[in-house]
Amino acid sequence: MIFFRFRQRRWLILFAAVLLLTIGSSIWRITTTPSLRPAIAPLPQDSHIQVFFNQSEANVYTDPYRHIQRYGDDLEQVIVTAINSASQTVDIAVQDLNLPRIAEALVSSAQRGIGVRLILENQYANIVPATEALKILRSARIPLIDDTADGSKGSGLMHHKFLVIDGQQVLTGSANFTFSGIHGDLDTPDSRGNANVLLKINSPELASQFAEEFNQMWGDGPDGQPNSLFGLKKRNHSTSTLSLGNGTVALQFSPLSPTQPWERSVNGLIRKTISQGDRTIDLALFVFSEQLIANQLETQAQKGAQIRVLIDPRFTYRSYSEALDMLGVAHPDQRCKIEADNRPWKNPITSVGFPQLPPGDKLHHKFAVIDQQTVIVGSHNWSHAANTQNDENLLVIQNETVAAHFSREFDRLYRSPSVGMTARLQNQSKKVRQRCQLSVAS
């Protein structure tokens, strides 16, 4: 009888243990099962040009640093995968890099014999204290220069964001390789990163052109002669166009001296491309301050093109912003002077403003979609400085499959925008009038 009771108790203990393990396993599965699902179906990708957005609703991933599950394509993982795929060389030119996983991938590639070269903007290459990523790179002695390697104090901005892998593949877009540029601010749980895009393009011909740009800036590398070429010191690049799959890609690099014809510049290429839009023109821009492009948009609007424009909220209503022109408004600057050649539209449109963004995030895009078949995209902001001072790149892609991705991103941003004569704009106009004691159009 005693033995039976012992066996019974042992069976009960064993049953309880199994039950606890089963319940615990179920709880673990529940807590670790993704609570988010893609909100929309993914679009087909072109075989030569793949498009990724860090706030895309067609994908879900877990931020590897904050462990936050969120909508978006993991741009950092796309970059890391490309670096790890290299069999010969990895060349990177990017304004800022502070993501440790990218730094670790570069070090790992260098250790397996891959030629790795890195160019940064001097303000970020020499930041004090150094970021973890920079410490990783310098500890491994990854070859690195910045835009003071030409013997100057630096170009306007080394503003590129591109990689060239094995002379075959290019990754480029608007995203800096940073927490805020891709995932979100580390100390802001609601941040989802500045709205950005990354393109992965398989084209040896295009890669060779980016490689030429890189090599001009690289010169003979670290500790060499000051023979690097940045900014206006570089050889002038004209627009080059190549066929790629079912479409074409035009490429041009900045800057161009203001002494040269403006039409030959990257902003000139933007205006030329805009002039071909006769149905729809959608712009998602960090900053927009190039008057001649705004003038061309007015011409297209007069011809019947439907125009929608979103600009980062920090720049939408600046005195130099072309958003004001499109809204028929003129604001003087801090000296109460109206910008030279300023031209508010005679027939303003109301589809101009800014998107609703997570706290702390920016609309960092620099893209346009024209007639749902042509995309303008790159590191190049639509400004005079980008055109005449900075190291930049711009692509004009004619490809309906690629354009569909950008149209979807624009529609996401335009879902609940603040456009037209917003209360914020009216309040700003009132303050400007009071400050300058002028009659400002409102």
> Domains along the chain?
46-232 (3.30.870.10), 236-442 (3.30.870.10)
What pLDDT does 438 receive?
56
From the list 337, 354, 324, the residue with the least C-alpha distance to 441 is: 324
The yes-or-no verdict on residue 400 having pLDDT over 90 is yes
- What type of residue sits at position 257? S
| pLDDT digit string, tens, across residues 156-194 | 999 999 999 999 999 999 999 999 999 999 999 999 999
Q: Is 81 helix (H, G, I), strand (E, B) or coil?
A: helix
What pLDDT does 284 receive?
99
Sheet of 89-94, strand order? 49-53, 197-202, 169-173, 161-165, 89-94, 115-120, 144-146
CA-CA distances (angstroms) from residue 162 to 138, 140, 295, 439? 20, 22, 31, 46
| Mean pLDDT of the 81-106 span | 98
Say which residues have a Cβ less than 8 Å from residue 153's Cβ, sequence separation at least 6: 122
The yes-or-no verdict on residue 370 having pLDDT over 80 is yes
DSSP symbol at 105 = H
- 52: number of Cβ within 10 Å: 23
What pLDDT does 381 receive?
98
What pLDDT does 236 receive?
80
Contacts of 122-129 spanning 24+ positions with Cβ under 8 A: 122/146, 122/147, 122/148, 122/153, 122/154, 122/158, 123/154, 124/95, 124/96, 124/97, 124/98
Q: Lowest-confidence range among 22-31, 280-289, 346-355?
A: 22-31
Q: Which residues of 96-120 are buried (b: 16+ CB within 10 A; e: fewer)?
A: bbbbbbbbbbbbebbeeebebbbbb
The yes-or-no verdict on residue 23 having pLDDT over 60 is no
| Mean pLDDT of the 76-86 span | 98
Percent of the chain with pLDDT over 90: 87
| pLDDT digit string, tens, across residues 317-358 | 999 999 999 999 999 998 999 988 999 999 999 999 999 999
